[in-house]
Amino acid sequence: MHVIKGFLILLLFLLSGDALVTLLNLPISAGVAGMLLITLWFMLRGRMQEDVALASQPLIAVLAMLIMPGVVGVFFVAGRYADQWLAFVAALVVGTFLSVLTTLILMSRFTPKEPTKDEDRSC
Amino acid sequence: MLDSLLALPNHLFETPIAAIALTLLAFFAGNQVFQWMGRPSWCPGILIAALIVVLTLVLLSVNYEVYQQGAAWLVLLLGPATVALGIPLYQQMHHIRALWKPILFTLPPAAILAAVYSVLLAWLAGATPEVMASLAPKSVTAPIAISITEQLGGSIPVLMGGLLITGVMATFWVSVLVKILNIQDHRVIGFALGINGHAIGTVRAFELSPTAGAFSSLGMGLTAVFTALFLPIAWRLVF
C-alpha cells in the first residue's frame, strides 16, 4: 500500500508540474518541473516522505529499461542520418573532449583543497 | 499451419503486452550478458539490451513502429520516474550546501559549454536543425535529456545514440586528460565524469571511489536540472 501511495504522490507532483508549465507557458518539461517541485517540497518540510522513497527506488532502478526502447530506435533510423556523420563525430568526439577539458580546468581551479583528514594518497 | 505460425508474432504484437514483455526480457538478458562481459565501460548494458530487441524484431519480422507503440505504455512511467529523481537530488543537498561556491563557478559554464560545443561543431559540420536539437542535451542524463529534446524539436532515437557515445567518450577523455593535467582530487574527477558523461560516467566514477561516485551523481543531477532550465529558454531566443 505504501508503494502505491508513494506512486500517487509522484503522479500528483507530475500533474502539478504539468499544470505549472502549461499555465506559465514554460519551455521545461512536466517531469522536470515535477522533480523540482518535489525537491522544494522536501526542503520546506525538512525531510522526505517514506512512502515516496519506497515508490521511487524501484522506478529509479528500472530507469535504464524505460529509456531502452528509445535506444532501439537508433538502429532503425541511423541510415536516414548517414550523410551527417561528420557532424556526429565533431559534436560527440571533439565536443566531448572540449567540454571534459573545460570542466576539469574550471573545477580544479575553484575547488578548495581537500581537508587533510583524507589525503589524496588513495589515488 | 506454417503460415499461421509465421503470422503469430504480428498477432501477438497487436496488444502492447508482447512489446512490454520483450522490453523486460531484453532488459534482464542484457544485464546478464553485461555481467558476463565483465561490465565493460565501452559497452553499456542498455546497448546490449537494445540490440537484443532489435535482433528479435528483425528475426520475427515485426515492424519497429509496432514495437514502439506497444513499448510506449511502459515508457509512460518515465514521467513519474523523472519526478522520483527529486529524491536523490534532495539527498545530495548537503554536498551542494558545503561546496556551493565551486559548484556555482563551475557547473553553469561547464553545462552551457557542453551544449554550445556540440551544437556549434555540429552546425559547422553541416548538421540539420533537427540533429542539432537532438545533440544539444547530449551530456544530460537520459530521462531528462528526452524531455529537453522534445522541447527543442529533436529526434529521440538520434539523441539516445548521441547520449551513449557521449557517455563512453566522456569516460575515455576524463581518464586521458586527468593523467595529462595531473589531477588527483577524486571530487574533481567525479564531478567531471557526472557533468559530461551522465549515468555512464557515474558508473565509472563509482568504480574509482565512493567520493568520485557521490560527486559524479551530484554533477549529473545538477547538470540535468540546469540544462533543462537553460537550454529550452536559450533555444527559444536563438532559433
Which residues from B are below 8 Å from A53, CB to CB? 87
Q: Which residue of B has its CA nearest to A64?
A: B46
Contact B164, B145 (CB under 8 A): no
pLDDT for A122 equals 43
Residue B231 has pLDDT above 90, yes or no: yes
For A103-118, b/e burial (b = at least 16 CB within 10 A) is bbbbbbeebeeeeeee
ipTM (interface pTM): 0.84
* Residue A119 belongs to a domain: no
Q: Do B161 and A35 touch (CB under 8 A)?
A: no
**Domain interval for residue A59:** 1-64
| B188 → closest Cβ in A81, A99, A104 | A104
Residue among B64, B141, B12 at smallest CA distance from A64: B141
The candidate with the shortest Cα–Cα distance to B157, out of A38, A80, A44, A33, is A80
Shared domain check, A56 and A16:
yes
Chain A residues touching residue B90 (CB < 8 angstroms): 38-39, 42-43, 48
B204 vs chain A: nearest CA distance in angstroms?
Answer: 15
Average pLDDT value for residue range B96-106: 85
Q: What does the pLDDT read at residue A117?
A: 44
Position A115 scores a pLDDT of 58
The string of pLDDT tens digits covering residues B123-160 is 999 999 999 999 999 999 888 899 899 889 999 999 99
Q: Which residues of chain A lie closer than 8 angstroms to B122, CB-CB? A: 87-88, 90-91, 95
If asked whether residues A39 and A97 sit together in one domain, one would say: no
Q: Give the pLDDT score at A4.
A: 94
Residue B175's CB is within 10 A of a number of other CB atoms, namely: 15
**Do A4 and A49 sit in the same domain of this protein?**
yes
Nearest to A95 among B102, B121, B131 (CB): B121
| SS3 at position B202 | helix
- A57 and A98 assigned to the same domain: no
* Residue-averaged pLDDT of chain B: 90
The pLDDT of B194-202, averaged and rounded, is: 90
Q: Which of B59, B118, B75, B186 is nearest to B194 (CA)?
A: B186
Domain count along chain A: 2
Q: Do A87 and B147 touch (CB under 8 A)?
A: no
Domain-embedded: residue A117:
no
B198: left (phi over 0), alpha (psi -120 to 50) or beta: left
- Whether residue A39 contacts residue B235, with contact meaning beta carbons closer than 8 Å, is answered with no
Residue type, A73: G
Residue B73 has pLDDT above 50, yes or no: yes
Contacts of A77 in chain B (CB under 8 A): 155, 157-158
pLDDT score of A26:
79
Answer whether B70 touches A (CB < 8 Å): no
pLDDT at residue A119, as a whole number: 45
Q: Is residue A70 part of a domain?
A: no
pLDDT the model gives residue A116 = 45
Q: Identify the three-state secondary structure at position B73.
A: helix
Residue A18: exposure state from Cβ atoms within 10 A (0-12, 13-18, ≥19): middle
Task: Give me the mean pLDDT over the B218-225 stretch.
Answer: 90
B178/A68 Cβ within 8 A: no
Half-sphere exposure of B195 (CA within 13 A, CB side): 31
The candidate with the shortest Cα–Cα distance to B140, out of B168, B121, B120, B166, is B166
- Encode chain A in three state secondary structure: CHHHHHHHHHHHHHHHHHHHHHHCCCCCCHHHHHHHHHHHHHHHHCCCCHHHHHHHHHHHHCHHHHHHHHHHHHHHHHHHHHHHHHHHHHHHHHHHHHHHHHHHHHHHHHCCCCCCCCCHHHC
Give the three cell numbers for residue B144: 531528462
CB pair distance less than 8 Å for A29 and B169: no
Distance from the Cα of residue B14 to its chain's centroid: 29
pLDDT(B121) > 90: yes
Lowest-pLDDT choice from A2-16, B1-15, B104-118:
B1-15
- CA–CA separation, A50 vs A3, rounded Å? 9
B115 vs A119: which has the higher pLDDT: B115
Low-confidence stretches of chain A (pLDDT beneath 70): 114-123
- A71 within some domain: no
